[in-house]
């Protein structure tokens, strides 16, 4: 049984970024294994939200399926076959609206095109959001643009409002940021800031509401 699916970018298992990020979050979304985290105050709580989702960058946000899983997976394979691999710019630890994330250090048009096409190409498999899901999103006091995207695509931060980020923490207090930003910069030093190839996307699945997401499939771009 699958409660929700998502399509994410996640580094290859042999990429040092994978090892560094899974240790930072304390869980490997590929295997489900728990990992020892850096010795930082309250790190388990600070990383709880991103740990549940697994280390990733969102392409098609999580949704409930309106179709069967196999039909969805076939669609992902067809879509991925139309996208060419590309180089991802070096990443750096950045503050994004109060939480820390790895983000690109230079514009990357193929990256944004991949996210936009994932949202559109796979949307026929998305079940409409429930009233409770819409209400939860609207608690963030959405702009008119975000509201329009929520109604059309089931999520407010897609298309022109999408921002590449690989989340490392929850929203931090100023005091926590003073601790965690330098710690994250040191943890990912020499690993994040290299150009890497995006040659695949990952289907993540959630078995039940509240369950952690796991990598179910890694699908190569370009067929």
Q: Report pLDDT for 139.
A: 84
> Which CATH number fits the domain that encloses residue 211?
3.90.1140.10
Q: Average pLDDT of the chain? A: 96
Torsion over CA of 34, 36, 38 and 44, rounded to 10 degrees?
Answer: 50
Q: Report pLDDT for 154.
A: 93
Residues of the chain with pLDDT under 70: 223
Per the structure, the complete domain to which residue 195 belongs is given by: 4-220
Q: 3-class secondary structure for the chain?
A: CCCEEEEEECCCCCCHHHHHHHHHHCECCCCCCECCCCCCCCHHHHCHHHHHHCCCEEEEEEECECCCHHHHHHHHHHHHHCCCCEEECCEEEEEECCEEEEEECCCCHHHHHHHHHHHHHCHHHECCCCHHHHHHHHCCCCCHHHHHHHHHHCCCCCHHHCCCCEECCCCCCHHHHHHHHHHHHHHCCCCCCCCEEECEEEEEEECCCCCCEEEEEEEECCC
Q: Report pLDDT for 95.
A: 97
Closest CA to 194 of 55, 100, 91: 91
User: Any residues with CB less than 8 A from the CB of 206 and at least 6 apart, and which?
Assistant: 2, 3, 4, 5, 6, 62, 212, 213, 214
Q: Report pLDDT for 111.
A: 96
Check if the beta carbon of residue 185 is closer than 8 Å to that of residue 102: no
Domain count, the chain: 1
Q: Report pLDDT for 141.
A: 85
Q: Report pLDDT for 48.
A: 97
Q: Report pLDDT for 1.
A: 75
Q: Report pLDDT for 223.
A: 64
Q: Report pLDDT for 140.
A: 82
The CA distance from 26 to 50, in Å, is 10
Give the N- to C-terminal CA distance of the chain in Å, as an integer: 27
The CA distance from 78 to 131, in Å, is 31
């Amino acid at each position: 049984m699958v409660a929700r699916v998502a399509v994410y970018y996640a580094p290859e298992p042999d990429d040092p970024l994978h090892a560094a990020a899974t240790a930072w979050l304390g869980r490997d979304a590929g295997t489900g294994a728990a990992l020892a985290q850096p010795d930082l105050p309250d790190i388990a709580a600070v990383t709880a939200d991103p740990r549940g989702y697994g280390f990733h960058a969102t392409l098609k946000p999580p949704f409930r399926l309106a179709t069967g899983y196999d039909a969805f997976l076939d669609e992902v394979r067809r879509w991925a076959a139309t996208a060419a691999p590309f180089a991802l710019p070096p990443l750096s630890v950045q503050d994004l609206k109060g939480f820390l994330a790895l983000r690109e250090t230079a514009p990357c048009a193929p990256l944004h095109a991949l996210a936009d096409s994932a949202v559109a190409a796979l949307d026929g498999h998305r079940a409409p959001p429930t009233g409770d899901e819409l209400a939860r999103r609207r608690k963030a006091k959405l702009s008119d643009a975000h509201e329009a995207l929520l109604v059309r695509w089931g999520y407010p931060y897609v298309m022109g409002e999408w921002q590449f980020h690989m989340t490392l923490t929850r929203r931090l207090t100023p005091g926590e940021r003073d601790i965690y930003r330098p710690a994250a910069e040191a943890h990912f030093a020499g690993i994040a800031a290299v150009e890497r190839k995006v040659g695949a996307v990952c289907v993540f699945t959630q078995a039940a509401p509240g369950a952690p997401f796991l990598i179910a499939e890694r699908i190569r771009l370009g067929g």
